[in-house]
Amino acid sequence: MARFFIEGGKRLSGEVNVSGAKNSALPIIAAALLTDKKVTLKNVPDVFDVRTMIELVTHLGARVDFKRNTLSIHTPKVKRLEAPYDIVTRMRASYYVLGALIAREKRASVAMPGGCAIGPRPIDLHIKGFTALGTKISITEGYINADARNLRGQNVDLQGPKGTSVGATINVMLAASRARGKTVISPAAAEPEVVDVANFLRALGVEISGQGSHEITVVGCDSFHSGVNYKIIPDRIEAGTFATVAAITRSRIVVKRAVSEHMTSVLEKLREIGLVIREAEDGIIVDGRGRRKATDIFVAPYPGFPTDMQAQFMALLSTIPGTSTIKESIFENRFMQAVELMRMGANITIEGDTAVIKGVKKLSGTQLMASDLRASSALVLAGLAAKGTTVVRRIYHLDRGYEKFEVKLRRLGASIRRGK
Ligand code: EPZ
């Protein structure tokens, strides 16, 4: 099982190119099933989760070619209606094929996605949305079976215990794309990835409006444009991760292709900590060489501070003098990186959904175990700042969502290598 070997304490410098957004690419690949015409997607990140989604749509009948971050997908005919358990368990976002198959074939059978390290991850809002559109849902032997012969546009309420849902908003948009009539989704998630999926649907020919707000309107259609060629937005979480690399290693890094408008809450926090951040021609210049101070983080849905940046900031705040706090309001169990950081000498106490972090002078390198995608990037960041050698095991978690992570870090001057 591959692991990273990191020699910490180095100052970094130079430029890094941010890849396409994983959390846009996954639903957009599934959305390409809506049409029997060929679709070309640009700036698709070559990460494990994208490879899994390609395996899934191919299983359903799509012909896919994926080279140098360009993906072409053509599904003249859907050959199967079932997303098998062994694929769905590998990647929860497999459930996006449910919305696409309900739209195109009016029937689908998708294995229930399990929970994952960061929480139970229910899908009740997805099911509530499909049901509102007239889909009959039954759950047998761990599969969600959908009968959508009466699919029609409706008002869909996606209010859940933690607010609305990114995944459910996207899944309902997909199903509504071929429903007779108008669908109004509210409250809808406003994340940039939701906007990206909506813009792709519009490129296909779906009448859609309100994306980026908390109310999205979709008018279903049955014919789609041919020759659609769509470019995925840059990954704001990867961009935020590299900005945090600059902060934790006290370096000046140019994060190219970063879209600052997609990451205002992260950049505001980094500035509050003491970083100097400027717009560059194509991206941002992040300077972490000055004095830094503690801060408080309140995770919230977009445009609030993203939960996907919480672990990386926990690593950063562990190295900043003073007391910082992080309140995680989205997922129930997203502090798993804390125990690993404490093994490096970090001073963190967890009180329910809040982590209290007292910065220490220096973390010390040691053997670490990654637990989920963003926690693993946090452990790498801590290793870059720590004294001595850090070994991060189970980096398959990281390979799910970061393209060539160690290669990009080495280009910035980090001492990191992948080994057994
Ligand atoms: C998406 O997950 C992202 N994943 C997550 O990124 C991200 O952390 C999350 O949105 C929040 O921004 C992808 O896009 C593939 P939610 P998703 O539905 O859609 C509850 C990463 O690291 N909920 O907005 O699953 C849920 O339990 C990943 O790239 C319900 O109660 O997130 C959570 O508490 C991790 N019922 C809250 O809503 C539902 O039916 C937000 O979840 C669905 C969700």
Question: Is there a single domain that holds both residue 162 and residue 226?
Answer: yes
Q: How many Cβ atoms from other residues are within 10 Å of residue 124's Cβ?
A: 11
Is 27 in the same domain as 173? yes
271 and 341 share a domain?
yes
Say if CB 397 and CB 370 are below 8 A apart: yes
**Which ligand 1 atom sits nearest the alpha carbon of residue 160?**
31
Q: How far is the CA of 167 from the centre of ligand 1 (A)?
A: 6
Q: Which residue, judged by its Cα, is nearest atom 16 of ligand 1?
A: 165
Q: Kindly state whether residues 92 and 207 are assigned to the same domain.
A: yes
CA-proximal residue: ligand 1, atom 39 (nearest): 123
Into how many domains does the chain fold?
2
| Residue that terminates a domain, selected from 231, 266, 297 | 231
Asked whether 225 and 189 are in contact (CB, 8 A), the reply is no
Asked if residue 187 has a cis previous peptide bond (ω within 30° of 0), the answer is yes
Structure token pair of residue 323: 């007391």
- Same domain for 137 and 217, yes or no, is yes
Could you tell me the CATH number of the domain that includes residue 269?
A: 3.65.10.10
Judgement on whether residues 104 and 164 belong to the same structural domain of the protein: yes
Please check the confidence at residue 148 and state whether its pLDDT lies above 90: yes
Q: What is the mean pLDDT of residues 321-341?
A: 96
Tell me: do 362 and 413 sit in the same domain.
yes
Instruction: For residues 350 and 318, state if they share a domain.
Output: yes
* Atom 9 of ligand 1, residue of closest alpha carbon: 166
241/331 same-domain check: yes
Ligand 1 pocket, CB under 6 A: 23, 26, 93, 119, 121-126, 160-162, 165-168, 189, 307-308, 330-331, 373-374, 401
Contact (CB, 8 A) for 295 and 317:
yes
Q: What is the pLDDT of residues 26-79, one digit of tens each?
A: 999 999 999 999 999 999 999 999 999 999 999 999 999 999 999 999 999 999
Closest CA to 191 of 30, 94, 303: 303
Residue 15 sits in the same domain as residue 59: no
Residue 115 has pLDDT above 70, yes or no: no
Do 198 and 248 fall into the same domain?
A: no
Going by alpha carbons, the residue nearest to atom 17 of ligand 1 is: 167
| One-letter identity of residue 361 | K
Domain range for residue 269?
A: 3-19+234-419
Residue 408 has a pLDDT of 98
d(CA 267, CA 289): 16
Residue 265 has pLDDT above 70, yes or no: yes
Both 7 and 32 in one domain: the answer is no
Percent of the residues in the chain that have a pLDDT greater than 70, as a whole number: 100
Provide the whole-model pTM.
0.98
Active site (catalytic) residues: 116
**CA triple 370-372-376, angle to 5 deg:** 45
